[in-house]
Amino acid sequence: MSDESQPDSPVRAATFPNPVIPGFHPDPSVCRVGDDYYVVCSSFEYFPGIPVFHSRDLIHWTQIGNALDRPGQLRLTGAPSSGGIYAPTLRHHDGRFWLIVTNVTAEGGNMLFTATDPAGPWSDPVRLPGVPGIDPDLAWDEDGVCWCTVAGVSQVRIDPYTGETSETPHRLWSGAPDAKAPEAPHLYRIGDYWYLLIAEGGTERCHGVSIARGRTPGGPFEPCPANPILTHRGTDHPVQNTGHADLVQGPDGSWWMVVLGVRPRGGTPGWHVLGRETFLTPVAWVDGWPVVAKVTPELPAPAWPLVPGPVESVRDDFDLSELRPQWVSVRDRPAEHCTTQERSGWLTLRARGASLDDPDVVFAGRRQQHLACRARTRIDPAEGRGGLAVRLDERHHYEIEAREGEVRVLSRVGPLRTVVASRSVPAGPATLAVRITGAPQRDSRSGPDTLTLGVEEPDGTFTALGALDGRYLSTEVAGGFTGRVIGLYASAGTVHFDWFDYEPLPA
């Protein structure tokens, strides 16, 4: 997954694909500094936390790091799947970047981090014990007062350097009467008004975006008569669950919105498997209110030149001293259990949990970002047992596992753990693979995709050992807020991985 090339000059295209950051990248928050744009997303139980992306055109995004990459910044001990890091907000003020977020664990709460370079390093956390709730936002008024607004929706003044609050949180406008889950607030000064943007309806099919405005950051707020200004609820649109938005201006001064959405597939009720993804949609202003376009799978290219980032390589040869920023682990990543320095050019995993069912499994993976894709790895299991897995959580995962002389396909769905198939293989390293392809749509019960797990023979041919229904690794079945992560794990002893390939296939 190394950078192979960088285009020498801007390019033009008729359309660009949406989502702009595909795969499990929910709750986007965007920040513009000069000609540069940055986005951060939720990461939940995965470490390192809060992926940070950079763009020069709002279209092409490159991950430049993870904001929370040290144990002193992020402790996820005891965090359940879909617990952990929720809904960060990224802002730039007074020459530095500010990142505020909620760690939903027993030892967590709201925290604030700063950096001069969004690629890192980021500071240790400033704790915010006086800030309740989740989805915190930051905004500064003309007098330099820092306002923190949280889901609910309530607001409190804070000292961002110390974390101290100077008052009791007070309630603000919370969207439509009786609307579920008013959350994801963002406060902006635009023209003569302060605008309060929120999500409501819950992050499922009824998700939407609403807005209100007032003369001061504390309100009172007047709701937009056209609320919700964005929702796909009750439609057959290919993008659903649209909400949790943030506003930004393009290079030409036009307005845009980053927003999460999902791409359900299959029959009823429709299953989304990649998690909530980051989409982009244009915004116009009419009579002092934003008018937001529907979120489409493709959009016309904007007026400014497109500037693609580096091309991502299919293969990671594990030739760096640390894993690249796309790699995440479950809850932590101790060097004694996960390292590229023990055997040169290999990733070494030393088991802790006995399987992917265990919260402390040793796992390193990357988000599935394409509806159809293939992943492969070369494993040496001579000293242990491990393999290649597609994970949603501890109770929903498929894997192909190797030990000396044998491979087997395993399935965990809810309370059921099954050995789907097994076969002998020659002693020594083996190549494991999973192919994810769309499922035939036979009727209203057809699933979204099929995961075929198997081995690659010495002549390069693929031998399938099991073909499994993808619906069971979906949010609609498993619940929660995450998406699929494809990666490598150890379940006994020590296993070594020579390389890992990930590549999209034709949808």
What separation in angstroms does the CA of 119 have from each of 40, 42, 262, 288, 334? Answer: 11, 16, 27, 35, 22
Structural tokens at position 469: 């229904």
What is the rounded CA–CA span in Å between residue 269 and residue 262? 13
What is the rounded CA–CA span in Å between residue 37 and residue 45? 26
What separation in angstroms does the CA of 340 have from each of 375, 410, 500? Answer: 19, 27, 13
Measured CA angle at 88 (ends 86, 94), to 5 deg: 160
Query: CA torsion angle for 299, 135, 103, 38 (degrees, to 10)?
Result: 40
| 139 touches 160 (CB < 8 A) | no
3-state secondary structure at position 21? strand
Residue located via tokens 């649209």? 242
CB atoms within 10 A of CB 401: 27
Structural tokens at position 169: 């949180």
Measured CA angle at 199 (ends 196, 204), to 5 deg: 175
Phi then psi for 164, rounded to 5 degrees? -75, 145
Residue located via tokens 């076969």? 423
Measured CA angle at 410 (ends 349, 394), to 5 deg: 65
CB atoms within 10 A of CB 39: 27
Q: CA 431: distance to chain centroid?
A: 28
Q: CA 206: distance to chain centroid?
A: 20
**27 in catalytic set:** yes
What is the rounded CA–CA span in Å between residue 361 and residue 372? 26
**Active-site position among 135, 183, 393, 476:** 183
**183 in catalytic set:** yes
Which of 203, 502, 204 lies closest to 370, judged by CA?
Answer: 502
Residue located via tokens 């020498």? 8
| 454 touches 387 (CB < 8 A) | no
| 325 touches 367 (CB < 8 A) | no
**Active-site position among 27, 45, 394, 401:** 27
Which of 33, 71, 25 lies closest to 50, judged by CA?
Answer: 25
Q: Where in the sequence numbering do the catalytic residues fall?
A: 27, 183
